[in-house]
Amino acid sequence: MTRSLFLLCLAALFFSVACESAPVRRHTHERLHSTLYLQRSAEYQATCLQTYRTATDRLEAALKDPAWTAETAQTGDIAALPPAVILDIDETVLDNAPYYGQVVRKDEDFDLKQWNRWVVRAEAELIAGAGEFIAAAQKAGVAVYLVTNRDARFEAFTRLNLQRRGISLDPQTDTLLMLRERPEWKADKRTRRAFIAQTHRILMLVGDNLNDFTSIEGLDEAARKQVVTAAAAQWSSRWFAIPNPGYGNWIDDITGDARTDEDILNRKYAAIRASTEISDEQMRELMNAAPSGYPVQVIVDTLTIPTRTDVAPAAQSEEAPAVPQQKESAPPETPPIAPTAN
């Protein structure tokens, strides 16, 4: 190799490394609101506790019913199989909001290298109620399987994190099934559920993504919602969902392959379903159609420019107090449809 060719290759290598490590800047508040919700909302904590408490309460009935299975593909004679529950890990058992807090603080996007560093630290806390549910299942003689799309190379760190939080895993059997731990264990978790279903009767599934319950490969939002509706009998009985406002197929479908802040934000605005505004005239018609009149204050609180004539309904005109005149003024400031690109 000539010296100049060698130098060219070296420069290309440095360039590719530099490109790979450059953080993606984000000013689209990708995770600001959702991470605050996970960290600060008592209602989120209550919802997780409620879900795990409900699951715990259902364990007894699930154990008693020899035909009970949460895995729709599990058929045949399953009564003799030992019972198991399957839980996802991220945002189901382990709380990664501190990592997403880093993403927010630095105005960055999800970054695999930074995520891997978080996983290796093995310091995620438990989602509320997860530890108690797992302990209750184990106490009742139910095997606890964890099926995660964390990469198989990080199994030891994931195991360490769980152990640090008091989750004791079966020392005899590998119950922590990672992504690509076997060639056929792909992101679609059905192959891992099928693997467990060969040896266990699956009582319950717990997760924050529909993929934790059934295969959703290639399904759009409408189809996924149809899956949820069709499985109505499973929810709170065999399937238990934990909310995840931060990430999932729901937002991936919206932002798609958009890369610039402007594109991402525009797609989010375009995806919002908003009621159409109605005119004051239409609002008056609605109020006039009300079964028993309406308080005068409703006029003031709903019409953009209430006038004396707005207090016109015959039933109230004598008694109605004067409606304060409002000055015609500019409408309140509204946020722009989309910010300009940086």
Strand 94-95, strand 125-126: pairing: antiparallel
Count residues near Mg ion (CB under 5 A): 5
Give the total residue count for the chain.
342
Alpha helix stretches (DSSP H) within 243-320? 249-255, 261-271, 280-288, 296-302, 314-317
Amino acid residing at 62: A
Rounded Cα distance between 147 and 207, Å, is 10
- Nearer to Mg ion (CB atom), residue 92 or residue 161: 92
Candidates 87-95, 126-134, 177-185, 231-239 — which segment interacts with Mg ion by CB under 5 A?
Answer: 87-95
Rounded Cα distance between 49 and 57, Å, is 12
| Contact in structure between 242 and 208 (CB atoms under 8 Å) | yes
Residues linked to residue 95 through DSSP beta bridges, in sequence order: 125
Q: State the minimum distance, in angstroms, from the CB of residue 222 to Mg ion.
A: 22
Q: State the minimum distance, in angstroms, from the CB of residue 301 to Mg ion.
A: 43
Q: Is 95 in the site for Mg ion (CB under 5 A)?
A: no
Rounded Cα distance between 252 and 188, Å, is 16
Q: State the minimum distance, in angstroms, from the CB of residue 31 to Mg ion.
A: 15
Chain residues 316-335 in contact with Mg ion, contact rule CB under 5 A: none
- Nearer to Mg ion (CB atom), residue 35 or residue 92: 92
Q: Is 71 in the site for Mg ion (CB under 5 A)?
A: no
Residues linked to residue 287 through DSSP beta bridges, in sequence order: none
- Nearer to Mg ion (CB atom), residue 92 or residue 214: 92
- Nearer to Mg ion (CB atom), residue 89 or residue 265: 89
| Contact in structure between 70 and 233 (CB atoms under 8 Å) | no
Chain residues 205-244 in contact with Mg ion, contact rule CB under 5 A: 208
Candidates 5-13, 82-90, 165-173, 321-329 — which segment interacts with Mg ion by CB under 5 A?
Answer: 82-90
Q: State the minimum distance, in angstroms, from the CB of residue 213 to Mg ion.
A: 12
- Nearer to Mg ion (CB atom), residue 56 or residue 92: 92
Q: State the minimum distance, in angstroms, from the CB of residue 127 to Mg ion.
A: 10
| Contact in structure between 57 and 140 (CB atoms under 8 Å) | no
Of all residues in this chain, which one has the CB nearest to Mg ion in the complex?
Answer: 90
> Which residue from 50, 48, 52, 27 is spatially nearest to 39, judged by alpha carbons?
48
Exactly one of 30, 71, 88, 261 binds Mg ion (CB under 5 A); which one? 88
Rounded Cα distance between 72 and 52, Å, is 21
Q: Is 90 in the site for Mg ion (CB under 5 A)?
A: yes
Instruction: Give, as one character, the DSSP assignment of residue 147.
Output: E
- Nearer to Mg ion (CB atom), residue 30 or residue 91: 91
Chain residues 138-177 in contact with Mg ion, contact rule CB under 5 A: none
Pull the structure tokens for residue 56.
């715990």
- Nearer to Mg ion (CB atom), residue 136 or residue 210: 210
Q: State the minimum distance, in angstroms, from the CB of residue 163 to Mg ion.
A: 19
- Which residues of the shown chain bind Mg ion in the complex (CB under 5 A)? 88, 90-92, 208
